[in-house]
Amino acid sequence: MAAAKPKGKYTHADYAATPEGERWELIDGALYRMAAAPNTKHQTVSLFLGATIDGHTLPRRLGLLYRAPYSVLLPGESAVEPDLLYISAARRHIITDRGCEGVPDLVVEILSPHNRAYDLSVKRELYARHGVPEYWILDPYGETVLALTEPVANAGVGDYTAEALYRAGDTLATARIPGLAIAVADIFAAPW
């Protein structure tokens, strides 16, 4: 993933006008072209995690899980497409026809060889600066989940002050989705 256009020059309108069939993200006014479609491992992990969260939240009407491509529009000329994002029913007002216009309750990114540094640094900083309360980074190759919470912004730079690394044998849970508990090994298990 490479910055295609300089920082501070582009707006949400420019993001909305990017060519059909191409995926872009806008971070602080810079347009980033997204890499090719995710690989099979990435998609399998996304499918399983999404189905697990949906299976828990939908019958209870707790909220909705959206999948990429789905825009999250943030202040400061930023628009990103996380792999998964969850919005609680109490905050459904941030869902519009344009996408999620505000901060989701939970954002999930799944690492691929081409996006690792981008998700671990650029997006981590962006999500923390805007107050995304929980950010999960799934590594399908290392079979781990890094859960980041307690976002802070100092001098306009964001980071998370609490992090936990989950591996096989651990159970992943979040206060953002009451009652949800996922065995980490199940997230990365072969589907057949």
Q: pLDDT tens digits for the chain (192 residues)?
A: 444 555 668 888 888 888 888 888 899 888 888 877 778 888 999 999 999 999 999 999 999 999 998 999 998 889 999 999 999 999 999 999 999 999 999 999 999 888 788 888 999 999 999 999 999 999 999 999 999 999 999 998 999 999 999 999 999 999 999 999 999 999 998 776
- Give pTM, 2 decimals: 0.91
Asked if residue 117 lies in contact with residue 1, where contact means CB atoms within 8 angstroms, the answer is no
Nearest Cα residue to 81 out of 71, 94, 96, 95: 71
pLDDT given for residue 5 in this prediction: 57
The residue count for the chain: 192
pLDDT given for residue 32 in this prediction: 86
- Span 39-188: which CATH code? 3.90.1570.10
Q: How far does CA 125 lie from the centroid of its chain?
A: 12
Contacts 24+ apart (CB under 8 A), 22-25: 23/69, 23/81, 25/79, 25/80, 25/81
